[in-house]
Amino acid sequence: MPRITFIEHDGTAHQVDAANGQSLMRAAVDNGVPGIDADCGGECACATCHVYVEPDWLARTGQRSEMEQSMLGFAAVAQDNSRLSCQITVTDALDGLVVRMPDGQH
């Protein structure tokens, strides 16, 4: 199972074992990671699952869709490495992935 590390804004790290095929958001929620509220349930419509992907991993997490890009446009704290974690599908290629949560997501 791919192991993913979520790091809260205060530096608290949470390592979770994610299942292939589930979204990064679902892996966080199912494992009680704070800061990923996922209010819309993964429909790319809320941006409460926002994460910053560590730069080394950006190529493997893929490109934002147009809709995701548009949602991130509403996030004041969006950066070049911002993604909506509900739009990233877990695969073995993401084993070891590290993402960080923005300030304000607790």
Q: Which of 16, 33, 49, 88 binds ligand FES (CB under 6 A)?
A: 49
C-alpha 1/C-alpha 90 separation (Å) is 9
Q: Which of 4, 7, 24, 25 binds ligand FES (CB under 6 A)?
A: 25
Radius of gyration from C-alpha coordinates of the chain = 12
Residue 90 binding ligand FES, by CB under 6 A: no
Q: Which of 18, 33, 38, 97 binds ligand FES (CB under 6 A)?
A: 38
Residue 33 binding ligand FES, by CB under 6 A: no
Residue 90 buriedness (CB in 10 A; 0-12 / 13-18 / 19+): buried
Residue 93 binding ligand FES, by CB under 6 A: no
Cβ neighbours around 92 below 10 Å, total: 8
Binding site for ligand FES (CB under 6 A): 25, 38-40, 42-49, 71, 84, 86
